[in-house]
Every structure is written in C-alpha cells, then in structure tokens.
Structure 1
Amino acid sequence: MALLVGFAMICVLGVAHHYGLLAVRAAKPNAGGAGKTAIVVVFVGLVALHTVEILAFAAIYRLLLALGLFGTLGGSFDGSWNGLIYFSGINFATLGYTQIETRGAIRIISMMQSLGGFMILTWSATFLYSTCEKVWRETE
C-alpha cells in the first residue's frame, strides 16, 4: 500500500511540476534584450517551485503521521513542522540520509519521494540549462 501511495505522490508531483515549469516559462522575459534577467527569473522560479513541492510533501507527511497508518519518524524528529520540512527537503534533494529515522512503511514513501525529487531536480536542471544555452547563444 505504501508503494502505491508513494507512486501516486510522485505522479502528482510530476504533473504539478509540469504546470509549474509552464508558469516559470510564462514569467520569463524573452531572451532577446533581457537574457540575463531570463536566467535569473528561471532560477528563482525553480527555487520557489521546489520549495512549494517540499512543503507539499511535508504536509503529506504530517497527514500520514496523524493517520498512523504507515509508521512513524524517530531519531532526532521532534514532531515539529520544521522537522517535517527538513525531512522532506532532505528526501527531495538527496537520498534521505538524516538524523531522522523512518519506522514502518513510511520508509517506502520517503524512498519514493527521493526518486521523485531526483527526477524533478534533473528536469529542472535541464530546463535551466536550456534557458542558459538559448540566452548565451543569442548574446554571442
């Protein structure tokens, strides 16, 4: 069941990220005269998008922990919102090596978040790179 929940979470993440990238692209000025600004807008937009995604996963962890269906977080987890954001961010950006320990099936969900985070970060890096490449090519 936890694998299915994790799978659904990263599928929703992928769809939401797609629309987030479309919003960042819409906010980006055309590369022409504002090339450097375009790069900065994309970078800041991606940081904001990833922050929202990390916060969304933290909220989901809060719900899953409240339901008590998938296990608990232990180790140095203090039950705070900050702890959940930290746990979510570490899972999103790396492989989840933290002082916070997962107990029970929630381990599978956090593993799936790591997979989704890796995919999303790679997608975002490609998006930023393509923006940079276009700007740099036009300003040569």
Structure 2
Amino acid sequence: HGLRDRILTDLCGRGVVRDVEETELDFIHVHRYPVADPSVEADIRQRLAEALTSGQLPDERTAALATLVAVLRMEPALGLTGPAAEDAGRRLEEIAAGAGFSGSVSLDDSVVRPSISLVIAALGQAVDAALGKR
C-alpha cells in the first residue's frame, strides 16, 4: 500500500538517506538510497549495543529493533562471535519476551505498541514459514 515509498520519502525528507536515480544499460532506471547522515545509524547501533549489554529494559524503538533482529534471525549482522554472540542472542530473546513474543508477557503488557507487535509477529511468521521454526 505504498509503505516503502512513504518510508523512503520520510527518510529522504529527514536527510537520513538521499534518492539517487541512475540509468543502467541506457534504459533501466534504478533508484538507490545511500546514507546521507551516518550519525543516525551510529545512534541506532549505540542504542542496540546498550540494550544488549546494560540488562535494563530498552525504550520502545530499541525494543522493537532488538525484537526484529531476533525474530528475523539477523544476529550475525551484529558481527559478534563466540561467547559475545551467545550473550547477545540470549539478551535479544529476553527483550523479545518483554515485547510479548515469548515467555509470559502478553502483547497487552508489551513494551512495544500493539500495531508494531502485529507487524513483527507477521514478519516472524513469514520467516518461520520460509525457514522453518527455530
């Protein structure tokens, strides 16, 4: 329903990414969206790192991101190995539990608002259907 376009327009408007139109083979129009402000990614990575190491409940945005990382099986993108990767995986699962995706916390008591929870749940179901249950 145009969600991708709305998100990209918003990110361009806020100066996070920029829209670069290119032509390939003289007739294929391609849009790329390179990062315009690397501080946004740095801030997100810092918040996620703090959530994984502090043991405290993260804010809603960081909890949603951590839950997405867990649900979408993106732990390798964190670039951690060995015990650090195992600790991060456990912490991601704890945060996901606090967001109502496992454990005893209901979506009503989730630290993430219900509309976001529904999107994350749908993505998780799609990943499970494609790759099998964890």
TM norm structure 1:
0.28
Larger helix percent: 1
- Higher RCO (CA-CA < 8 Å; seq separation 6+): 1
TM norm structure 2:
0.29
